[in-house]
Amino acid sequence: MTPKTVAVAGATGLVGREMMRVLEERNFPVKSIKLLASARSKGTKLKFKGEDLPVEELTETSFKGVEIALFSAGGSTSKKFSPCAAKDGCVVVDNSSAWRMDDTVPLVVPEVNAADIKWHKGIIANPNCSTIQMVVVLKPLHDAAKLERVIVSTYQAVSGAGIKALDELLEQTKAVIEGRKPEAILFPHQIAFNCIPQIPQSDAFADNGYTSEEMKMVNETKKIMGDQSIRVCATTVRVPVYTGHSESVNIETEKKLTPDEARAILANAPGVIVKDDPSRQVYPLASEAAGHGDTFVGRIREDLSHPHGLAMWIVSDNLLKGAALNAVQIAERL
């Protein structure tokens, strides 16, 4: 690959830092790198390949001479600055929800629909973290037996809500252990030793009773898979885990798949690792997925309520495959 001039927008955040680490770890051909964030982070030093690099303020002129920009700076920031970058000839890979359902913007998981990268017009969307890990597993099964319906319940790590959310989990955990009343600031309820069926925590429920995170999984799955006929029902839950999203996924297919057939298909699927030996207590765990770029699947079994149904358990690092790694993989394809 020809060395590229790269920018990371939102470099000081959890995902931004992961993007830098993944670029370095995968030896992405970086000719030079520009670290961008809000004005309050200007001058902060971050390490990249052993060097302390200063963070610059993100402005409309930040992308002159930049070839690829990885964005993880929030939806409103992306809406404002991504078009500026594209206008200057830079290709943006955006991690926010700003562009995902825009018909002119590809929504890409490289193992699933890398070919969609070709029709970008300067912006490529990185899907929602919980959607990414699910479609990596479901696409090979869809190709083999055609998905008709997907029911998913997520168990999403607190790191998906950012650094302040991790701090809140830690402080609340200390408070509970010490017998003090935990204070909920970022989350609407106590997250320590609890589960909150509302993601994101700051959004109101829609008129249909679903959260925006749940509707992302519904709509993004169809767009990424290229099949609007797939019916999806999602329930998304925040759990007191630091890193690693877990999902209970139930599928119905047009053609019957046995669990053994599904395991054989997934054993050969890119980016997927099958961990499925319940007799030896082998199945995916968030604690083991953290720090790994692959998506893990196990507990594959027949749905006793449907003749063409399968149930499974899917786990992945939400900061890696769910965000930073997927973005870098898109950049590699570019």
- DSSP assignment of 180-209: PPPP-SSSSS--TT--B--SSTTSPPPTTS
pLDDT at position 202: 85
Q: Under CATH, which architecture does the 131-317 domain have?
A: 2-Layer Sandwich (3.30)
- Residue range(s) occupied by CATH 3.30.360.10 in the chain: 131-317
**For position 322, what pLDDT does the model report?**
97
Q: Which of 90, 120, 142, 245 is catalytic?
A: 245
Mean pLDDT of 23-33: 97
Please report which helix (H) or strand (E) contains residue 111, including its range.
helix 110-113
Question: With bands split at pLDDT 50, 70 and 90, how would you rate the model's confidence at 1?
Answer: confident
Which residues, including other chains, have CB under 8 Å from residue 2's CB and lie 6 or more apart?
29
For 284-333, the DSSP string reads --HHHHTT--SEEEEEEEE-TT-TTEEEEEEEE-TTIIIIIHHHHHHHHH
pLDDT digits (tens, 9 = 90+) for 268-313: 999 999 999 999 999 999 999 999 999 999 999 999 999 999 999 9
With a cut of 80, say whether residue 83 has pLDDT above it: yes
Residue 150 pairs in a beta bridge with 232, 251
Residue intervals of the chain classified under CATH 3.40.50.720 are 4-127+324-333
| The pLDDT of residue 15 is above 80 | yes
Asked if 307 contacts 84 with a C-beta cutoff of 8 angstroms, the reply is: no
Could you confirm whether 129 is annotated as catalytic? yes
Determine which one of 129, 233, 306, 308 is catalytic: 129
Report how far residue 203's alpha carbon sits from residue 113's, in angstroms, rounded to the nearest whole number: 30
Digit-coded pLDDT (tens) for 48-67: 999 999 999 999 999 999 99
How confident is the model over 100-120, as pLDDT tens digits?
A: 999 999 999 999 999 999 999
pLDDT score, position 223: 98
Whether 306 is catalytic is no
Q: How many helices (H) and strands (E) does the chain have?
A: 9, 13
Structure-block tokens of residue 24: 């370095």
Q: Which CATH architecture has domain 4-127+324-333?
A: 3-Layer(aba) Sandwich (3.40)
Q: What is the mean pLDDT of the chain?
A: 97
CA atoms of 253 and 300, how far apart (whole Å): 14
pLDDT at site 321: 97
- Residue 270's pLDDT is what? 97
